[in-house]
Structure 1
Amino acid sequence: MARWQGEPFAVEQLAALGGFEERNRGRKERGAPKYKESYLKIGLDPINVNKVAEAEETNEISYDDERVEDPKPGMEFATDKELLAYYKRYAKQQDFGVITQRMKRDAFGKPKYVKIGCACGGKYHPSHSNISKSRPTIKTDCKAKLNAHLDRNGVWVLTTAENTHNHSTVSPQKSKFFRIHKCLDEYSKRMFDLNDRTGIRMNKNFGALVVDAGGFENLEFQEKDCRNYIDKARHLRLGKGGGEALSDYFKRMRKMNDGFISVIDVDDELRLRNVFWADALSRAEYECFGDVITFDTTYLTNRYGMPFAPFVGVNHHGQSILLGAGLISSENTSTFVWLFQAWLECMNGQAPKAIITDQDRTMKSAIAMVFPETRHRYCLWHIMRKLPEKLGSHSQFNAGLKTDIQTTLYDSHTCEEFDAKWGELIQKYDLGDNTWLEGLYTERSFWVPAYLKDVFWAGTSTTQRSESMNAFFDGYVHSGTTLKKFVDQFDNALRKKVEVETIADFNSYNQTIPCVTPFLFEKQFQAVYTNAKFKEIQGEKIYVLPERYILDRWRKDLKRRYTLVKSSYDDLRDNADTRRKIFDDEQVGVGEVPTPQVGANVEDVVVGTQYSTVTQQAPWGNDENL
C-alpha cells in the first residue's frame, strides 16, 4: 500500500513515524513470558483494516487433537476458510498435503466454488526440454479431492468427496514438511522479527527456538521457512529518532517547494516498508537529462548497511545528478516494482530511454514490467570484476584466457563478429560446460558493447555513476550512522553536489579552453559545449563533423529550466549567480549569449515549458539537426 505525500492523509499520518507503538503480547498456549514489540504505524486505511481483520480471523482458527471425520457430500461449512481449515486438519491426520486446485469467483470477486485436493494431484510438466535438469516432483496425478460451492443461503456445501489416494502416505513425523502444514505461530514470528532487528543471525535465531521447543520434531516449520518469512515480512528499520527525522525532512521539503513529492509503502500490519522522494529540482533535471539513468542499491547498503536506492543521471558537465531516491526494506521484485512505479509517476509517466543496473534478476524482472520500452543494460564493470572468481581456477586464465575475453568483448564491432569470436574462445579454452559463461552469452544483448551500439548511453556503461553519487555520502555516513543522522546529513551532501555543478557552470560560461587544431569543427564545440565535454572532443582525432552531431544535452549556451526551479539549495545557487553576475559585469561580453553568424537562421530554442519558458537564440543556422 502506498500513499503520496501531499494528500491530507500523508502529512498527519507520516508524523506517526516519530513515535513507536508498543505492543505487549504473550504466548498463552506455551506459557512464554511477555515481551515488547516495536513497529512503525503509518495510519489506518479501510482496505488495511479489512486485511488485518481477515488475518486475525484466520489466526483464530485453532487445531485440537480431536479426530476429524472423513469428508463426504452434503457436509456444510460457514465460510471457505472454515472449509479449508477442516480439510487441512483431515490431511494432517491422514498424513498427506493439500493444495487449492481451483477456485471460481462471482462478478464481485467473492469465492463461489472451490476444488481442494491432495498435493500430489495433477501431472508434472517440466519448464524446459533438458531432462537432465528436471526438478524433483511429488506429482502422481492423485485423484483425492473435494468440491464445494456456496449455496443461496451463504453456506458452503460439499458436492464431491474422493478420499482414495494412488500413492503411499508419509509418516506422521514427516507430514509436517508439506507446505500446507508448515505454520509459523505468532510467537515465533514476533521473536524472529525482533531478533532480526537486533542483527541476530537466523541460524542462531532458529537454533534458540529449537532448544526452546525441545527439539526439531516439535517444530512445524524449518529454518528455510523462517528465512522466507523474514524476507517477506521485513520492513524498513528506522531506528531511534529515524521516523521523526524522516517526517521532519519531508515537511521541510514540502514547505520549501511545492514540487517535492514523497511516497510511503506499508505492509498489512501498517509498518513502514519503503520510502521514495524527489524534489522539484530532480524532477526538472529529469526533463533535460532523463535519457539515461543508472540504478544501484549496493554501495551504501554493502558499505554502511544503509538501504539507499538512488536514481542517477548525467548532466551536461558529465557529472552525476540525483533524480530521486528511496529507502527500501528488501531487494525483491515486488519492492523494485513499487519503487520504479513511484518514480515513474513522479516523473509524469515519462520512462527513461535507457537504464543501467548491476546483473540482478529481480531488477531485470521489475524493469521489464515497469519500463517495457526502456533499453536495459548490465553494468559491464560488475561482470568483468567476476572473471577471477568464475574463471580464476582455469589453468590458462592468466596465460591468455583473460586477455582473449577482453579482446573479444572490446574489439568486436558487430554482433556477428562478437558471436564468431566468442565461439572460437569457448572452443579454444574448452569452456563449453561453463554455466556462467553460457548464461552470459544467453544475455549478451544486455552487456556486450557490440549489441548496445544503437543506443545513446551518455558516455557510461557501468553503474559507477550511482557509486560516484553514493560516494558523496562517504564524508557524511559511516558504519554507525542512524537514519536520523543520514537524513540530517542528506542536504549537506547534496548542497556540495549543487555547488560543484554551479562552479562548473561558471567556469564553462566564463573560461575558454584554447583550440589545439585549426579545424572549424573544434571552434564549434568550443563555443557551445561545456569545458568537460570539450576536453573529451579534443582527445579525439576528428577532422570534419556535421552539425547534427552537436548534442543539446552537452551544450553550455542553453538556459536550462531546472536552474530556475526553486529547491532546498536555492541559497547556494543564488550566491553562485551573484558571483557570476559580478564577474560578468567586470568581463564585458564574456558569458553572454553567442551572437548568430551573419546570414544564419535565427530560431528560438525553448528549453522546458512545463513550469516556465526560457528562450535562447541558436548560434548556428537551423537547429533541428543539432
Structure 2
Amino acid sequence: MTEPEARPDVASTGDVGTPGWLPRVDMLFDSENDAYEFYNTYAENLGFFIRRSTLWTTSKNIVTRRTFVCSREGFREKKKGAREVKSPRPETRIGCQACMTIRLTPNGRYRVTEFEPNHNHQLATVSTINMLRAKKMRRKARAVRADLVDDSVRTPEFETEDEAYEFYSMYAGRIGFTVRRASMTLSAESVITRRMFVCSREGFRENKKGSKRVKKPRPETRTGCPACMIIRVMPNGKYHVSEFVTRHNHQLATPSSADLIMSHSAETSALDDELGQVDLLSDEKDRDNQDVNLLSDENKLYPRPLKTMRSGDVGAIMQYLQKAQEENPSFFYGMQVDDNDTMISFFWADSKSMMDFTYFGDAVCLDTTYRLYGYGRPLVLFIGVNHHKQAVVFGSAFLYDESVNSLKWLFETFKVAMGGKQPKTILTDRSPVIKEAVAAVWPGTNHRYCVWHIYQNAIEQLSQAFHGSKTLSYDFSRCLFDYEDEEEFILAWNAMLEKYDLKDNQWLAMLFEDREKWALVHGRHAFYADLKSVQQKDTLNSELKKHLSLETDLLCFFEHYERILGERRYAEVQADVHANHNARKLPSMRILKQAASAYTPAAFKMFEREFELYMDCMLYSCGEVGTISEYKVTIEERIKDHFVKFDSLDLTATCTCKMFDFIGIQCRHVLKVLDARNIKDLPPHYILKRWRKDAKTGGISSNCCIPIGDDPQSSLSKRYGNLCRIFSIAAARAAKTMDSCTFVENQSDLLIDQVEQVLRTRALELPPLITSSSDRPQNPIDNVIAGNFRYDKMNQTSFVAHSNGLLSSQHSHPTICWGQFPARLPEQ
C-alpha cells in the first residue's frame, strides 16, 4: 500500500506538537498498516506503547474495522488451574481507555471513527523511551536511512518480491556486498505489502544469554550498515522501490572477490548476460556521488518468466495426447519448443471441438484466468457459445511461456487445427503481449477485451473498495455491461469515481484509457454471441482449477478434464433433444410462432424479451427517400432515442443500437418498425443459423476453407487436412444412429469410385512427398528423442510434422505437431 500523502486529512510527519501528528476523527489512511504506523509513532513520542486489539473482517479476511489500544488496556486474565508463581510478572494492564478505531470506507481507505487520548497512568518521559534499546536503534536506523536515501537512482517496478530480491542481489554482486531479506509487512490476506532488503552487515548482533561462555565466538560481521532497498506494493499490484540507500559504512569487496560472494550466484550471472551493455555502475571512486542507472530497459531485463513445469509433466502430457490420437485419428495436437529444444507449450483439440468451431466459431474467448487466480499449471482455453447459449471448448493449451512468440505460435496452431478459419471476434484479457500477438496472426479478427475478465480483475484490484461498499459492485457492473451511449457511459463512470472517491485510483484510470477495447458503446459493431452473460453463469474454470495444482498428478487432471467435457457435451445433446421434441404449446402470435419454431429455447427467450419490450416503444416517422424510410423509436424511461432505417425493397433494417450486429437477435426497435409496416413474419435473413435448432445441419464443406497456395507440397497437405476434417465431421454426425452409419458405409464405395473417375480424367498433381525413412519411430516421444524434426534457426522456419508423414513449413517458433490425420498416406 502507498504511504499517506501530505494532505489535510492524512497523517504527515512533523513534531509531536504540531496538529498533523495528533490523531483526530475523520483522518484517512490507505491501509490498516499505515494507521498502525501513525498511531505507533504518536505513542512513541507521547510515552506509551500500543498493540492491535479487536477487529472485524469479511469472509475474505479483509479488515473492515480495527482498534489500536494502549498496551495497558484491559486486565490480565486469570487462567483456571494456574498455580501461584514465586516470582510473578508485574501487573502492567490497568484498564487504560486510550485507543484509536478505524473503519473501512466505500473508497477502500480507512477512516478514524474514534479517538480517546486520555490515559489512567503516568506516561513515560522522553528520556525513558530513549533508554529502551530497541526503540532507540529503530529510530536511529530510520533517521540514518532518511538522510541517505538516493532519489537519483532509477529503479524498475517488479511483478513479485522474488524479482526485486534477484535485482538487488545482482546489484550487490556488482558493487561487492551480500544481501539478505529483513523486515516485511503483510496484509490481512497474507500478501507482502512492504519488504526491506539490506546489506548483510546491517544492524548489530544481539547479546544472547550465555554468549560470553563460548570459547571461540564467531567474528563480528554486522556494523550497522544503512544500505538497503525497500519496496512497497502499488495499487496496480506491482512493487515500487520507495527507498534506496547506496551508502555503506564498511569496505566493499574488490571486483576480483565479488564473484565469490553468495549473492552473486549463477542465477545472477544469467541476469548479467541479459543486461548486455547496460551500465549498472559508475567508477568505484565516484560510487557515493555519481548517479547510478540501474535499468535502461525494464522489458529487456525482466521478461515474463516461464511457468514452473513439474518433473514428469511432459511425459504425462505426451501419454495423454498419444492415447487420444490412437482412439481418435482426427485428434489434433501441437507442441512448441524453444531454442534449447525444451517443450514450453502444448495445444490440443478433438474432432468435436473442431466441429463446434465450424458452426459456432464466430466469437471466441481466450480464457487465461490462471494468470488471475494463480493456478499451479497455466491452462488456456478457447471458449465459445453454442446455439443453446452453453459454453463450448474449441481447444485447450498449456502455455508455460507467455512471450509474444509463444502466443503467436498458439494462435497459428489454433488456426491450423481449425482448417485456416479464424473467428470474427476474439475476447481476451487486458495484456499488451496478447494484443501484439493477435494483431500479428489474426489481423482481420476484431480484438476486444473481455469485460468478464475485467470484472474479475477489478475484484482483486479494488477488493477493499468492494468490501467497503455494498453498491460499488453494482455501479461498476453497470459501467461494464449496460450503457450503450457514450455520453451516458462517461457520465456514469465519472459519477462512480466521485461517489466512491476513486478519482486517484491508477488502475481505474488506466482501464478508462483502454475503454475503446472493452466499453460496450465502442464494441457493438462486433459480434459477441452474448458471451458475457454466459461467462457470468458458467463454472468451467471453477471446476477445472481444483485439479491444476502442482501437487495433483497431471494424468489425474486429464481424467477430470475429459469427464467435465463429456458432461457438458451430454448436456448439449439433452438440449438438442429438448429443443426438437418440446411439447410446449406454440405462441398464438404469428411472429412468435415463427421464432419459436426456428430458434432454440435459449435464443427464443432472448427474442421473446425484445418482442415484449417493443410494445412500450413509440414510433415517429423521420422521412422517406426512395425505398428507404427512417424512424425514431423512443421509450419513456430511456433518455436516448434510437433511429431505424428500413428498406422496403429487400426488407432490411438497421438500428443505431446495433443489437443484431452484436448478439444476432433482432432488437425491439426494428420489431416496432416491422409491425408498423404490417410485416408479420420476421425476414429470414434476420434469423441467424447459429441460433437455430438446425444450426449443426447443412453443408460441411461450405464451412471449411480449402487454401490455394503456390507450394504444391503445402497445397496437397492442406487439401488433405481439410478433407479429413470434413469427413471427420460427417462421421461424427453419422455415428449418432445406426441407419445413418449404415448409409455412409454403403455410400463410401460409390464415392471412392467417383473420385477415381475424376483422377483418371485429369493429370495427377501429386509432387514427390517428403517422407522419412521407413524405420523411423512411430511413438511421438521417440520422435522427439530421435530428432525427427528439423528447422532452420536462421529463418526461424519450423516444420509441422503430421502423423501421416507429410511435412509442411510454417514461419513460427520451432514447433512439433502431430495432427488429426490417419497414419496412412494417400496412394500416389
TM-score by length of 2: 0.40
Determine the structure 1 residue equivalent to 2:263: 216
Contact 1:476-1:493 within 8 A present in 2 as well: no
Select the residue among 299, 305, 309 that pairs with 1:237. 309
Select the residue among 591, 595, 598 that pairs with 1:528. 598
Deviation at 1:221?
3.0
Deviation at 1:527?
0.7
The SS at the match of 1:317 is: coil
Contact 2:307-2:377 within 8 A present in 1 as well: no
Q: Tell me how far apart the structure 1 counterparts of residues 550 and 262 of structure 2 sit (CA, whole Å).
A: 37
Determine the structure 1 residue equivalent to 2:49: none
Select the residue among 522, 536, 559 that pairs with 1:451. 522
Deviation at 1:265?
1.0
Select the residue among 356, 379, 389 that pairs with 1:318. 389
- Aligned positions of 1:269-284 closer than 5 A: 269-284=340-355
Determine the structure 2 residue equivalent to 1:557: 694
The SS at the match of 2:570 is: helix
- Aligned positions of 1:163-562 closer than 5 A: 177=174, 213-216=260-263, 221=268, 234=306, 237=309, 239-240=311-312, 242-299=313-370, 302=373, 304-387=375-458, 390=461, 398=469, 405-410=476-481, 412-423=483-494, 432-461=503-532, 464=535, 468-471=539-542, 473=544, 480-515=551-586, 517-540=587-610, 541=612, 544=671, 546-547=682-683, 548-558=685-695, 559=697
Contact 1:288-1:560 within 8 A present in 2 as well: no
Structure 1 pair 256–135 and aligned structure 2 pair: CA distance change class (3 A):
farther
1:135-189 deviations in whole A, cap 9, x for unaligned? 959xxxxxxxxxxxxxxxxxxxxxxxxxxxxxxxxxxx979759xx9xxxxxxxx
The SS at the match of 1:274 is: strand
Q: Tell me how far apart the structure 2 counterparts of residues 347 and 373 of structure 1 sit (CA, whole Å).
A: 16
Structure 1 pair 410–265 and aligned structure 2 pair: CA distance change class (3 A):
closer
Contact 1:250-1:262 within 8 A present in 2 as well: yes
**One-letter code aligned to 1:216:** S
Structure 1 pair 438–503 and aligned structure 2 pair: CA distance change class (3 A):
same
The SS at the match of 1:458 is: coil
Deviation at 1:231?
6.4
Deviation at 1:476?
6.7
Q: Tell me how far apart the structure 2 counterparts of residues 496 and 400 of structure 1 sit (CA, whole Å).
A: 37
Contact 1:276-1:324 within 8 A present in 2 as well: yes
Q: Tell me how far apart the structure 2 counterparts of residues 470 and 392 of structure 1 sit (CA, whole Å).
A: 21
Structure 1 pair 174–341 and aligned structure 2 pair: CA distance change class (3 A):
closer
**One-letter code aligned to 2:415:** L
Contact 1:358-1:463 within 8 A present in 2 as well: no
**One-letter code aligned to 1:312:** I
The SS at the match of 2:413 is: helix
Q: Tell me how far apart the structure 1 counterparts of residues 437 and 533 of structure 2 sit (CA, whole Å).
A: 19
Deviation at 1:218?
7.6
Deviation at 1:274?
0.8
Q: Tell me how far apart the structure 1 counterparts of residues 499 and 582 of structure 2 sit (CA, whole Å).
A: 54
Rg (Cα) greater in structure: 2
Q: Tell me how far apart the structure 2 counterparts of residues 231 and 510 of structure 1 sit (CA, whole Å).
A: 55
**One-letter code aligned to 1:239:** S
For structure 2, the 5+ residue unaligned runs are: 1-151, 156-169, 177-195, 201-256, 275-299, 615-670, 675-681, 704-724, 742-819, 821-828
Structure 1 pair 215–476 and aligned structure 2 pair: CA distance change class (3 A):
closer
**One-letter code aligned to 1:556:** K
Deviation at 1:250?
3.0
Contact 2:451-2:532 within 8 A present in 1 as well: yes
Structure 1 pair 234–382 and aligned structure 2 pair: CA distance change class (3 A):
closer
The SS at the match of 1:216 is: coil
Q: Tell me how far apart the structure 2 counterparts of residues 312 and 321 of structure 1 sit (CA, whole Å).
A: 6
Structure 1 pair 344–435 and aligned structure 2 pair: CA distance change class (3 A):
same
- Aligned positions of 1:12-23 closer than 5 A: none
Structure 1 pair 263–395 and aligned structure 2 pair: CA distance change class (3 A):
closer
Deviation at 1:295?
0.9
Structure 1 pair 486–404 and aligned structure 2 pair: CA distance change class (3 A):
closer
Contact 2:310-2:550 within 8 A present in 1 as well: no
Structure 1 pair 503–476 and aligned structure 2 pair: CA distance change class (3 A):
farther
Q: Tell me how far apart the structure 1 counterparts of residues 541 and 699 of structure 2 sit (CA, whole Å).
A: 26
Q: Tell me how far apart the structure 2 counterparts of residues 419 and 456 of structure 1 sit (CA, whole Å).
A: 23
TM-score by length of 1: 0.51
Greater percentage in helix = 1
Greater shift in the superposed pair: 338-347 or 390-399 = 390-399
1:320-360 deviations in whole A, cap 9, x for unaligned? 11111111113333321221121122223322111112223
Deviation at 1:474?
6.4
**One-letter code aligned to 2:590:** L
**One-letter code aligned to 1:314:** V
Deviation at 1:256?
4.3
The SS at the match of 1:221 is: helix
Contact 1:312-1:324 within 8 A present in 2 as well: yes
Greater shift in the superposed pair: 549-558 or 533-542 = 533-542
Count of residue correspondences: 386
Q: Tell me how far apart the structure 2 counterparts of residues 511 and 334 of structure 1 sit (CA, whole Å).
A: 49
**One-letter code aligned to 2:268:** F
Determine the structure 2 residue equivalent to 1:60: none
Q: Tell me how far apart the structure 2 counterparts of residues 421 and 213 of structure 1 sit (CA, whole Å).
A: 60
1:552-591 deviations in whole A, cap 9, x for unaligned? 10111352567997769989x888646999xxxxxxxxxx
Determine the structure 1 residue equivalent to 2:133: none
Q: Tell me how far apart the structure 2 counterparts of residues 307 and 280 of structure 1 sit (CA, whole Å).
A: 23
Contact 1:300-1:306 within 8 A present in 2 as well: no
For structure 1, the 5+ residue unaligned runs are: 1-133, 138-172, 182-202, 582-610, 612-626
Structure with larger RCO (C-alpha < 8 A, sep 6+)? 1
Structure 1 pair 570–498 and aligned structure 2 pair: CA distance change class (3 A):
farther
**One-letter code aligned to 1:352:** P
Q: Tell me how far apart the structure 2 counterparts of residues 408 and 262 of structure 1 sit (CA, whole Å).
A: 40
Greater shift in the superposed pair: 275-284 or 441-450 = 275-284
**One-letter code aligned to 2:407:** F
1:451-506 deviations in whole A, cap 9, x for unaligned? 12222211122783896444454687666322233334443332223222112111
What fraction of aligned residue pairs are identical, expressed as a percent? 29
Contact 1:317-1:530 within 8 A present in 2 as well: yes
Contact 1:235-1:329 within 8 A present in 2 as well: yes
- Aligned positions of 1:103-182 closer than 5 A: 136=154, 177=174
Q: Tell me how far apart the structure 1 counterparts of residues 372 and 458 of structure 2 sit (CA, whole Å).
A: 23
Q: Tell me how far apart the structure 2 counterparts of residues 299 and 351 of structure 1 sit (CA, whole Å).
A: 24
The SS at the match of 2:532 is: coil
**One-letter code aligned to 2:363:** V
Q: Tell me how far apart the structure 2 counterparts of residues 316 and 369 of structure 1 sit (CA, whole Å).
A: 30
